[in-house]
Amino acid sequence: MTKLAVQSTSNDFVPAAVVLSGQELTLQQVRAIAYDFTPVVLAEEAAQRVADCRTMVENLVASNKVVYGVTTGFGKFSDVTISPEDSAQLQANLIRSHACAVGQPLPEATVRALMLLRANALSKGYSGIRLTTLQLLLDCLNRRVHPVVPEQGSLGASGDLAPLSHLALVLMGEGEALYLGERMSGKEALARAGLKPIQLQAKEGLSLINGTQIMTSIGALAYIQSQHLAKMADVIAALTTECLQGITDAFAEEIQQVRPYPEQIGVAKNLRALLTGSKLTTRQGELRVQDAYSLRCLPQVHGATRQVLAYVEEKLMIEMNAATDNPLLFMEEEIVISGGNFHGQPIAFAMDFLKIGMSELANISERRTERLVNPALSGGLPAFLSHQPGIASGMMIPQYVSASLVSENKVLAHPASVDSIPSSANQEDHVSMGTTAARHAAQVISNTAKVLAIELICAAEAIQFRGEELLAPATRVLFDKVRALVPPVLTDRSTSADIERLAEALLQGEFLTYIEDVSGPLY
């Protein structure tokens, strides 16, 4: 497939970039564009499809064909015919009336991801948008004009209508945006970036907002962070295993092979690699015959979360490269079909599943933290890892915080996808609540990162008593990286900033490369 850059409306040189075809967008590319500001251009063949599909829309308008959202109203108003001269006003009214989302603005990285995903869906050439409108969306992305998009207000069917309308407002020169991080009117943001607003034409407003890109963008970035946390959970658990003089026999390959889940096998392999060379771990019968489940069952529990992540990845990859608006125009057959690709049920289920899987990583991590700080369970470590037990509380209250976050996750893990409230006078009588599921999944993952950070801080404190020189080479790397961010808690002090700082490092996977240089690639 030939992939050539389409000329930007700004006429500026476009550097090496991700090329959108509507077919092949990857999660790695989403991450690069969302966080690293990698530029984006449109593939030449995608541009041709978009232009050809737009010609089809214009022909439909000229012939007065009855087409939902093109020559009719929306939702319950689909039986109201719209004249060609009113089509532009219809689209503008659609965006203005639907831009009523509420709540905190989505993070800039999430907004960048949703701009990318919406552009990728439109580039498939089934939506009928003008090439100039699509190019303006890409120019905004490349020039860091980021619409202010409130996070609440989507039912997850009929598309993420309310929040996506705030994105479309900025293309019209309305609403609010961040330009290079500064908040201002959409009109001013476009002007500062050297861009001009557009007047939406027939079908364009509907094409911009009738999709699942809010839930999918939140879900994609949450998944990427989950992948980092899943690997780091193995590493942190390995360090805790050393602190508690854990028994490595439970990670033996023989055990995993007789229950051959690939993910369980992979986690056990990670643990064996991470603990190679440790002088703190034990063998079966040396100190005790069996460890508690939070150590002994690491391959089974962490492995099951990896199964969840595999499911979620599959659904995200399909959704990111799908056409999810309505109606869809099929040029070869010269037909327009109203359907339901905007319904977010597949992503709603995936996000609810992600919440459950990541909640369990936090659950078992908190149990390991309890074993580190509880003198009845820690095998000789001082109570709450305090250097002055009784005078100093040590790590007593961080475990409380961990328990609080785990409890909150249990509430957030309640499935949003089983709920539905009819809308549009019962025309839209079943909805997915997928965006709610995605938002809650992102919060669960943030909480889980903090729980893991607390375990890691406690493990680093415990190693101060066991002897850092006895660590395995791979876990010694982790210990040193932690100590570069979090000094030892020799006397009581606030650790809130330490937890937050370490949690962010875990979410971004900052330590993984250094650890894998020693352990080898982790599963």
| Residues with a known catalytic role | 68
Tokens of 313: 């990845």
C-alpha 458/C-alpha 346 separation (Å) is 39
Q: Give the integer Cα–Cα distance in Å for 142 and 189.
A: 13
Q: Which among 225, 192, 224, 217 has a CA at the least distance from the CA of 109?
A: 217
- CB of 325 closer than 8 Å to CB of 206: yes
Nearest to 454 by CA among 356, 360, 370: 370
- Dig out the tokens for 305 from the structure: 């979360």
Whether 108 contacts 158, CB under 8 Å: no
- The pair of structure tokens assigned to 406 is 């785990």
CA distance linking residue 23 with residue 511, whole number of Å: 32
Give dist(CA 80, CA 96) in Å, integer.
Answer: 19
Residues with Cβ within 8 Å of residue 365, at least 6 apart in sequence: 233, 236, 237, 402, 448, 451, 452, 454, 455
Q: For the purposes of burial, counting CB atoms within 10 Å of the CB of 58, is it exposed (0-12), middle (13-18) or buried (19 or more)?
A: middle
User: How many C-beta atoms surround the C-beta of residue 313 within 10 A?
Assistant: 18
CA distance 252 to 462: 25
Please give the torsion angle defined by the CA atoms of residues 87, 91, 94 and 97, in that order, rounded to the nearest 10 degrees.
Answer: -100
Ramachandran sector of residue 421 (left: φ over 0; alpha: ψ -120 to 50; beta: rest): beta
Q: Could you tell me how far CA 357 lies from the centroid of its own chain? A: 14
3-state DSSP call for residue 10? coil
Q: Three-state SS string across 348-382, please?
A: HHHHHHHHHHHHHHHHHHHHHHHHHHCCCCCCCCC
75 C-beta neighbours (distance < 10 Å), count: 14
β-sheet with 182-185: strand ranges across: 145-147, 176-179, 182-185
Which one-letter amino acid corresponds to residue 88? A
> 452 with 232: CB under 8 angstroms?
yes
